[in-house]
Structure 1
Amino acid sequence: MTDEQLLRYSRHILLDALGIEGQQRILDSHAVIVGAGGLGSPAALYLASAGVGRITLVDDDCVDLTNLQRQILHSDARVGMAKAESGRLALAALNPTVDVVPLQKRLAGAELDALVGSADIVLDCTDNFATRHAINRACVHHRTPLVSGAAIRFDGQVSVYDLARDDAPCYHCLFPEGEDVEEVRCAVMGVFAPLTGIVGTMQAAEALKLAAGIGQTLNGRLLLLDALNMEWRTVKFRRDPDCPVCAPNSAVRSGGYLDQAGADRESAAPACRSASSAPAG
């Protein structure tokens, strides 16, 4: 660790539970953040400020004016730019020592699997169940810890699936794929701006604890927030021994993973304004 890093991260190093060793583990870690929107924005900012060595920021969307009410990674000057590139610019301004890799695409299949395999931690900051389950399968395949968050209207939730542990449940254990679950999105239901900040920041906290190897994570616990009344609830859950994704004899756990449905989806990114054509600022 350099003298500059010792100074930059001194308030972390002063924490007995973290110290120089924990901060070094953070510096050496690679976090993949899928989704650079309301949840991914605060999560990415705190991971970068804390010194996560490499952050891969994945999003196939472009910055829209309606995003700016809550997606604090972006700015009015970058409306029309790819969110992944806009996020890279914001994180580079905050901490230029962090290696930020922007990916403007919708990852699926073998490409998603390979990226998850290269990561120490994955943060699911997406807004649809199909993508969440694809990320979960890749994380189970590689036993990569997954930090999952969600926010809609005034309701938020966050949990950790520490898949490096043999007894850890996966996302499918709690939210089985294929069940008749209503898909709700901010574009039609609305979302309270600070709610995404609360949940995304908690995702960052859990990811940093995993990276540093400290504390007790939310593994096996789902935190639910009613932000309108500011009430928290905790739901405890266990691994489903018959889970088709994470059971020891499942195809995913045994190495036969391939999200074929995802692999067949269109992965091309929409045409956003390029970074070079954006106004300065």
Structure 2
Amino acid sequence: MAVDIPSVPLPGGASLPQIGIGVFQVPPDDTANVVRTALEAGCRHIDTAQMYRNEAGVGQGIRDSGLAREDVFVTTKLANDAHGHDNAITALEGSLERLGTEYVDLYLIHWPLPGRGKFLRTWEAFDELQKAGKTRAIGVSNFRPEDLDRLAEHGGPLPEVNQIELHPAFQQRELSEYHRAHGIVTEAWSPLGQGRVLGAAVLADLAGKHGRTPAQIVLAWHLRRGRVVFPKSVHAERIRENLDVADIELDEAELAAIDGLDEGRRLGPDPSTFEG
């Protein structure tokens, strides 16, 4: 299937496809099939994590697809019990073994865990891993502005990516503006808000106007706002629908109408207090 999936450049030189597929909560035994199906549909960006326990299935799915490793952008994330310099290095080696690859394209600190006070040393290891070619890009997930400020004050590179909860009902505008000001790419996890906003009248109206589904309208909104998304699905038709959104042209008034759905309502844990 030929789909048009734009990419965004990362500061370190990697090119990140703006639409991918997430495998959070995909059972390990099903992961290879889901990944292969997504890749056959035109997806070239897979988002996994050590805590998902399905990295081996991701690697198998890529091999089953017949695609060259360099044609697939693979993200994994550091487990919460592996913070610290040496632990972070060892954890990535484990990921590489499970994925069956010599490198990942993006390695993220999954949660800042501010109460543990270890993410600065963890970030030092990430910098070393990138320089060693074990990961093409490095970033973080669920980091707040104050966490990013601490990284900046500590020295070394800024994260190339921050993967955060972001959907129409929870838009994190202050954090998104911080990203823009510092050249950090925003990745949106749970980009559809677990479906809780898809019944909104504005989305139904836009879906009817453009001949698409409300979910496709939301994903197009993310893309027009410059974000990277990786919606989760295990169904082939839904995977294809989620990938086929780059040609949806939303004007500024339509984008603003979706912006107006923001309720400041978080679905996942609060990074300020979450300690894994």
TM-score normalised by L of structure 2: 0.31
TM-score normalised by L of structure 1: 0.31
- Structure showing the higher helix proportion among its residues: 2
